[in-house]
Amino acid sequence: MEVLKEAIFTITKHVEDVAEGLGEEEVEALIDAILSSKKVFVYGAGRSGLVAKAFAMRLMHLGINVFVVGEIITPAIEREDLLITISGSGETTSVVNAAKIAKNIGAKVALITTYPNSSLGRLADIVVVVEGRTKLRGEKDFVMRQIKGEHYPLAPLGTLFEISVLIFLDALIVELMVRLGKTEEEMRTRHATIE
């Protein structure tokens, strides 16, 4: 239990540090882009992809026209749209490729990352920095890390980044609720009834 508690305290302290370090201008730019886009697409690989899906669900509950990249019902991205990418390293090949496609079409690209000077960071119109590990050891690409079996103690792999992003995006939903004048009761009307 000692290791478990130490891991929890490490993670919660990290989330507090992330909250303190968020760039207000970048977060405001992300909010503006979400509210002004015709369609919002979200994309991440691995656990970042799960975080993206959780965020997409809440955006849908708010009535935002949102899609998860890679799902079979996802439509084409267009110029008036926004692609929100989540990548701790900013180098995940599939996510970089998706951002390139979106940029070529003329859509806006947002990135949530630990590394703003990454390949994705250089492509993105909006970059929100969420600190993960202070140093990225080993391979930057998610798939290559999985193949090589690179793991880290207490908060293995991208845990600090992914949990921090999940909490940041859930808090962002609350901010959007306030700005849109939406209540939890209104959101509940869009909640799944067949599960």
DSSP label of 183 = -
Is-contact 83 102, C-beta < 8 A?
A: yes
Residue among 162, 175, 184, 195 flagged as catalytic:
162
Q: Which of 88, 37, 105, 99 is nearest to 66 (CA)?
A: 37
Is-contact 86 112, C-beta < 8 A?
A: yes
Q: Under DSSP, is residue 195 helix (H, G, I), strand (E, B) or coil?
A: coil
- The verdict on whether 162 is a catalytic residue reads yes
Residue 57 tokens, joined: 């669900």
Instruction: Please count the CA atoms within 13 angstroms of the CA of 189 that sit on its side-chain side.
Output: 6
H or E stretch including 147?
helix 142-148
Q: Which residues are catalytic?
A: 162
